[in-house]
Structure 1
Amino acid sequence: MTLALAFRRQRHQEVATLAATHDANERRVTELYTAAAEQLGSDKAAVRLAGLYALERLAQDNPDHRQTIVNVICAYLRMPYTPPTPVDPEKERKAALREARRRYQAARAFGGSAVAAATPPATAEADPEGERQVRLTAQRILGDHLRDERPVQGRDTIPAGPRFWAGMRLDLTGATLIDFDFGYGHPADATFSGVTFSGDAWFVKATFSRHAWFGGVTFSGDALFDMATFSGGASFREVTFSRDALFDEAVARAPNAHHVWPVGWHLEPLPDGTGRLVRDEDTSPEKTASKQSKSAREAPER
């Protein structure tokens, strides 16, 4: 009897200690998360970058908090943003001369007091290149940790790498993404509806476990979906391709799911019950006439 009571007391103390340790760890994670998230609101690009790196480390070390941190990064990328236009050296030189002349005239008129005031404080809006680097870093975090380079057929037996964050859901609705590299990406759900892809977009060998929504997307550069795998529904309704759109050897594992494929592509059934994306045949009058002419030339004489 005494032994049983001692065992119960010891067990109770162990459970209480574990609970206290867990609570302390959760409080620590919450504090770190709050501090890092607040850094994303700074007007200094370096501070925002530090916040992203802190969130990345926090997610890597605390799997239970990964989805929350992915949500924060996606929310940052969804904020309105216009990429800086390419710099024209001649225009930049002339603008610098105009600014120098304006400062000189202001200094003469006000005894130099206007010179310091002519320099605006550094903000996200006043530092477009800094904000670009912050966004590229946010994209890189998502791309790196959702990259799964295991063969699709071997994912049930081959363990994932330690940096892969499995089962993440992405919501980048309406975001502006710059040279977005999601090659080998493996999210659970992915919503890119209304996204503007500035530059090329790489989805080569990406695997979408459930839905993949690309409705209303604008691709300003090449859109590369070669060898991508769509395991659930996929929609490319009203997509705008400004340059090449490549879906070579892309596969749909659920051909009967809800799909809206890009104009010019359709699903071709495969013997294993899946479907492969192939280009539509060109049925324009010019192409048809060319085919008929070629057939006539190649037809044997009778």
Structure 2
Amino acid sequence: MLPGLAALVALVFTWLSVGQTNKDLQISEQGQITNRFNAAITNLGSASLDVRLGGVYALQRIMQDSPRDQPTVVSVLSAFVRQHASVPVSGFRPAGEYRPATDVAAVVSVLGDRPAGREVSQDGKPLYRVDLSGADLGGLEREVGLTEGGVPRRVNFRFADFTGADLRDAGLENFDLSGASLDHANMAGVKLPNADLRRAFLGGANLTDALLGAADLTGADLDGANLHNAHLSRAEEASETSAADSSADLTGAHLIGADLSAADLRGVLLIGADLTGADLAGADLRGANLTGADLSNADLTGAKLAGAELSGAILRGARGVPPGSSGGSP
């Protein structure tokens, strides 16, 4: 019995020793991360661009190594952008050539490349969000890399807050902006092909001349948005009887009072969309699917509707509707 008891005691001692060793390692690791974090924050405040960039990429490494610290790192980097690239108090700057500073662009890149899946709860709600509200990011060009399968990688800005931001002429191709807040953002000339804007909030946003070909705007809220001369079709030319390839999806989108005059909407899916009072004068809707859409009091004067599907659409009070157009209400 004594040898067995001795072996049992030795086993318990070993287990306790291993547990203590693991605990000591965890404490040491957390201490190292804390030291790295403090050093990175210090670098962010440096007058040297090279040192600031070092701080940015040091925080990126911490975010990769320590999931529990990702919300803190995202908060710090978001604040850096808001502080160093904010829309002037007097309002949006005059249009012209502009590019964000190198360190600001680097921060945006790091935020977009952060590990996905850590910021959403089991019920799909955001645990935290990137806050770039009021940021001046006009002219931003974000290079999108490829996955191992050779397809463009999604840039992760799900649920991000871009309220009141300046995104004019920014290149945001393949951005994941699902659930993002872009209310009253200035997005004139923005390039958003293949972007994911499902359930995004774009109320009052300026999307004049925006490129939205193949963007997914399912359930997006665009109440009062200005989409004058916006392009939502990627086709070079569309047949009058067939839908354009790879056009945007605005199924169920809220476009109440939106300015879509002269917009390129060839082949766009507007099934069940609310276009009450929308300005569609001169818009190109050839091949568009407006099944069940609400076009009450909308202005369709001069709009091209050849091949458009209007079955079940509400046309009460709509102006410029060609005679014989089918709909749920004349």
Question: TM-score, normalized by length of structure 1?
Answer: 0.60
Match of 1:166?
A: 117
| 1:233-252 equivalence runs, <5 A | 233-246=199-212, 248-252=214-218
Residues 249-293 of structure 1 deviation map (CA, whole Å, 9 limit, x = unaligned) = 5153xx5xxx52253789436xxxxx9557965454641699879
Q: 1:218 aligns with which of 145, 166, 186?
A: 186
CA distance 1:189–1:49, change in 2 (3 Å): same
Match of 1:73?
A: 77
Q: Greater CA radius of gyration, 1 or 2?
A: 1
SS of corresponding position for 1:18: helix
**Which whole-Å CA distance do the structure 2 matches of 1:187 and 1:140 have between them?**
10
Q: State yes or no: 1:140 paired with 2:109.
A: yes
Match of 1:158?
A: none
CA distance 1:277–1:31, change in 2 (3 Å): farther
Residues 73-126 of structure 1 deviation map (CA, whole Å, 9 limit, x = unaligned) = 1111111536999999xxxxxxxxxxxxxxxxxxxxxxxxxxxxxxxxxxxxxx
Question: TM-score, normalized by length of structure 2?
Answer: 0.56
Q: Is residue 202–residue 223 contact of structure 1 (8 Å, CA) maintained in 2?
A: yes
Q: 2:156 aligns with which of 173, 177, 186?
A: 186
**Which whole-Å CA distance do the structure 1 matches of 2:161 and 2:96 have between them?**
32
Query: Higher strand fraction: Structure 1 or Structure 2?
Result: 1
Q: State yes or no: 1:61 paired with 2:65.
A: yes
| Bigger mean CA offset, 76-85 vs 287-296 | 287-296
**Which whole-Å CA distance do the structure 1 matches of 2:96 and 2:204 have between them?**
32
Q: Is residue 215–residue 239 contact of structure 1 (8 Å, CA) maintained in 2?
A: yes
CA distance 1:17–1:72, change in 2 (3 Å): same
User: RMSD over aligned Cα, in angstroms?
Assistant: 4.0
Amino acid at match of 2:200: A
| 1:1-302 equivalence runs, <5 A | 1-81=5-85, 132-143=101-112, 145-146=113-114, 164-168=115-119, 169-178=129-138, 179-181=140-142, 184-204=154-174, 206=176, 208=178, 211-224=179-192, 226-228=194-196, 230=198, 233-246=199-212, 248-252=214-218, 255=219, 259-261=220-222, 263=225, 267-268=250-251, 281-282=280-281, 284=299, 286-287=301-302
Q: Is residue 77–residue 138 contact of structure 1 (8 Å, CA) maintained in 2?
A: yes
Count of residues in Structure 1 that have an aligned counterpart in Structure 2: 225
**Which whole-Å CA distance do the structure 2 matches of 1:81 and 1:197 have between them?**
12
CA distance 1:288–1:81, change in 2 (3 Å): closer
**Which whole-Å CA distance do the structure 2 matches of 1:29 and 1:23 have between them?**
10
**Which whole-Å CA distance do the structure 2 matches of 1:65 and 1:293 have between them?**
56
Deviation at 1:66, TM superposition (A): 2.6
Amino acid at match of 2:251: E
**Which whole-Å CA distance do the structure 1 matches of 2:173 and 2:166 have between them?**
15
Deviation at 1:177, TM superposition (A): 1.7
Higher RCO by CA contacts (8 Å cutoff, separation 6 or greater): 1
Gaps of 5+ in 2: 88-92, 120-128, 145-152, 228-248, 253-267, 282-297, 307-319, 325-330
Gaps of 5+ in 1: 89-127, 147-163, 270-274, 297-302
**Which whole-Å CA distance do the structure 2 matches of 1:87 and 1:268 have between them?**
34
